[in-house]
Amino acid sequence: MQKYFLCRYDDLSEGQSKGFSLGDTAAGTDNIFTIMKDGEVYAYKNTCPHRGINLDWQEDQFLDPDGALIQCASHGALFKIESGECIAGPCTGDALTPVPVEYAQDGLYALLAD
Ligand code: FES
């Protein structure tokens, strides 16, 4: 397991999403995104289970207009923030790949497999 620094806590905002490019990791080139909801940070790989492409068209925009669900910009699939489960769209029943995070003194880290 490798740790990758994402950001300081004050770079995250409640109800907002944020994308990160981790570059070349042991597991390949990894892009992930986070969402802070009710003070909890959820992180997923930035890969839509429908076509295997990034979910976002605009930087740091991963949520639907209400901020209630994760939305893929390509074909509109909707995912639960807490579980990554797709509940509407072309990949209903599939799920985003969660990324474990670690809360450290200096900020948030992503934990990725070697
Ligand atoms: S690529 Fe995400 S819904 Fe089609």
| Ligand 1 near 74 CB (within 6 A) | yes
- Give the model's pLDDT for residue 30: 83
Q: Which residue has the tokens 């995070």?
A: 101
- Residue 80 reports pLDDT greater than 70: yes
The chain-wide mean pLDDT, for the chain, equals: 93
C-alpha 99/C-alpha 14 separation (Å) is 19
Residue with CA closest to ligand 1 atom 3: 75
List the domain range (segments joined by +) for residue 22.
2-112
- Cα(51) to centroid(ligand 1), Å: 6
- Residue 23 reports pLDDT greater than 80: no
Mean pLDDT (whole number) for 95-114: 94
Count of structural domains within the chain: 1
**29-78 confidence digits (pLDDT tens):** 689 999 999 999 999 999 999 999 999 999 999 999 999 999 999 999 99
Specify the CATH number for the domain of residue 57.
2.102.10.10
